Amino acid sequence: MNISDVRAQFPILKQKVHGQPLVYLDSAASAQKPVQVIEALKHYYENDNANVHRGVHTLGARATDAYEGARVKAARFIHAKSEREIVFTRGTTSAINLVAYSYTRAVCQEGDEIVISAMEHHSNLLPWQQAAKAVGAQLKYIPLQPDGTFTLEDAERTITSRTKIVATSHISNVLGVANPVKQLAAIAHKHGAAILIDGAQSAPHIKVDVQELDCDFYTFSGHKMCAPTGIGVLYGKKALLDRMEPAEFGGEMIDHVDLHHSSWKEAPWKFEGGTPIIAGAIGLGAAIDFLEEIGMDNIAEHDRKLTAYAVERLNRVDGLTIYGPEDRRMGLVTFNLNDVHPHDVATVLDNYGVAVRAGHHCCQPLMRHFQAAATARASFYLYNTEEDIDRLMFALHKTIQYFDDQE
């Protein structure tokens, strides 16, 4: 993995912000796009733009081949058994909502349980709140340790024979810590429950094998892994997708329609009503090609080293608090400077060309667990370097100096 060659593929990184070279440390929110992905979108719109599946003309056939080819690539990327287990969605949020709406209604009755953790992104919390209310189920939380993680022992005590669904993040978007999802899947299955894994922060960084994890559902977003915005994937075991009813109804997803009754196509197409996200799927396919050419193992090793380097540097700063355990961390560091609001930290850093995220990161329950209203977060990806971390540290020291001078 030649980092200079990788960086050269991202045109946006060549710009300056406030007269400083851009240091983009916000990939956990959305990753930048390489030339290959941008060119794939351009090629589709300039050469193959047409609707898919229904047309018999040449452009329609080309668009369909590219769209369904992206489904094959997505299945290969996460080692699904078949492309029939891949549903294209708008992203992780819509994928989780689909499962929470449809699968919950298929399996849950009043008094059943849905189990999640309080570390979850709101996208993996709010849909389950609403699903539990809709079917009369109880929403239960695996308790958190002081560092924000949970133990398998606590999961064992929380999941019962009444549990129908367990949902958790693969890697936390605040802690950067990988959860023991394979072991959690085994616990869920022992009690007859299905498990959904939110892979928004894991699919861009590590090799994912849904068969090895034995998860029932796995979700991820294209825009966090160099693909366009507005495209994501729901993986579901075929037997479970077949059991679920669609959540959206309209053209494309039907088999037969009459005035008072209709029937649906098979999965995955029954979940893709209307004109699908054609260009987004093609862009996702190009992003998968790009990441696989570099190698997911290479990306994972690069991101681990960068994260460890950042933690080591940040730990030297007096008055800086890092949230979560320092080991098992991948791709991001969340922190606060004493007595300085994280929004102020991010604003000063931006003046030095350093882009970080500040806020509650769509994890308000986890923020309350840490008794913090908000935090700053620096996140890293395959195009970042140790020099980027050094620039972050320089800008942080300038931030500290600025606020010390205000006192």
Catalytic residue numbers, as ranges = 362
Indicate the Cα dihedral angle 272, 277, 278, 281, nearest 10°. -100
Q: How far apart are CA 155 and CA 144, in angstroms?
A: 10
* Residue 376 and residue 356 in contact, taking contact as beta carbons nearer than 8 Å: yes
Give the max Cα distance, the chain: 74
* Residue 263 and residue 254 in contact, taking contact as beta carbons nearer than 8 Å: yes
Q: How far apart are CA 213 and CA 184, in angstroms?
A: 9
Query: What single DSSP character describes residue 102?
Result: I
* Residue 213 and residue 185 in contact, taking contact as beta carbons nearer than 8 Å: yes
* Residue 310 and residue 380 in contact, taking contact as beta carbons nearer than 8 Å: yes
Closest CA to 88 of 234, 223, 246, 287: 234
137-to-94, 111, 165, 299 alpha-carbon distances in Å: 21, 5, 10, 40
Strands 113-117 and 163-169 come out as parallel
Q: How far apart are CA 401 and CA 385, in angstroms?
A: 25
Q: At what angle do helices 386-406 and 342-351 cross, to 10 degrees?
A: 120
